[in-house]
Structure 1
Amino acid sequence: MNLNPENLDQVKITVSTESDSAGISVIAVETQDDSGVFESTISLTQTSGSSGNRIRAFPGELITAKYEDRTLPLPYGISDDLDIIATSSIGADIPDIQRVSIEDLYVADSTGEQISKLTKNNQIQIVSHIRNNQDYSQQFTSIVQIVDEQNRIVSLSWIAGKLSDLQNFELSQSWIPTESGNYRIETFVWKSLNDPSPLAPSYVKSFSVK
């Protein structure tokens, strides 16, 4: 697109993200008269709408830049054009595994009261508190599995939802132990079942059933 080697050429670029598929249009300007290198500065926002050279985007999303190239070699003709597309991913200041915290985990009875003595054939609640460490909302899936002394999974359940910015959230999942013994609770917070990227370190707690 260096059409005039004696002047700074310009290229119109469309930039889009997963949060703003319509995107924005910006102008990239050639760095020198005959460099063939074009630059434009884009800023990212999580709290405002897209406008000018600013586009709404969140960590983990894809960002796409596209321009129309009209300087194609053979077998293209002089009137042909082609969309040139580049993509990248948006990083975050906080690693994925620190985006959510598991603040607390305990066992409660059917009324929600925390208990320390568990007996078989009585329903219990596995209560966990998670916190969104980001100042924007994000999807999550909380998974709780209970493992017996032989490392067999005797219960597996999950809850999917959306955390508001900096939200503390209580989750409760029920289970009825049918056998006495020692067990451990393992809880995980993932992006989703389809994307098991951890948003928080796993949390493990042991308990006994009489």
Structure 2
Amino acid sequence: MKYLVLLLLLSPSLVFADSGNISAQITPNSNVLITGNQIMITADITNNQNTQQPFAYLTQVKNHDQVVISLSWLTGSLSPRQSFSPAQSWTPTISGVYAVEIFVWQSIDNPDALSPPLSMIVTVKDPIR
């Protein structure tokens, strides 16, 4: 059976996965971002198997209308017990409420999930001037 453990870090917000397959926790009051500031959507991925595991790491950001406004991915392969911390950047340009989602799949062409998706809601505000 194939499982990966994820840790999602959306600077400055933290979501982590542990306890069996995946669980998520968001640090309180840290999900407010500022327009124009680049953030990194990061996850710690660990291959808990005894075999090599190819993967595709996808991040997407949806606006309040559920329209995907940012989509990026990278692919790789993890050796047994190896960990990796992929990161994708996003710079919000418009204030509003957004859903940030992370998926870890077998590959881009094979969307079989290696772990449940992680998601969080963030609020983007204009800087105070």
For Structure 1 versus Structure 2, the TM-score category normalised by the shorter chain is 0.7 to 0.9
Shift of 1:162: 0.7
Distance 1:148 1:131 in 2: 30
Shift of 1:201: 0.8
Counterpart of 1:149?
64
Shift of 1:198: 1.0
Contiguous gaps of at least 5 residues in structure 2: 13-28
SS of 2:109's partner is: coil
Counterpart of 2:5?
101
**Which digits, 9 at most, give the CA deviation of each residue in 1:149-198, with x for residues without a partner?**
11010100001001111122111100110100111111111111111111
Distance 1:198 1:127 in 2: 18
Counterpart of 1:4?
none
Structure 2 residue corresponding to 1:173, chosen from 80, 88, 95: 88
CA RMSD of aligned residues (A): 1.6
Structure 1 residue corresponding to 2:33, chosen from 107, 118, 139: 118
**Greater RCO (Cα-Cα under 8 Å, separation 6 or more):** 2
TM-score (norm 2): 0.77
Contiguous gaps of at least 5 residues in structure 1: 1-93, 110-114
Counterpart of 2:19?
none
- Which stretches of structure 1, 4 residues or more, deviate above 3 A after TM superposition? none
Distance 1:178 1:120 in 2: 5
TM-score (norm 1): 0.49
Correspondence 1:28-67 to 2 at 5 A: none
SS of 1:144's partner is: strand
Q: Which amino acid aligns with 2:11?
A: A
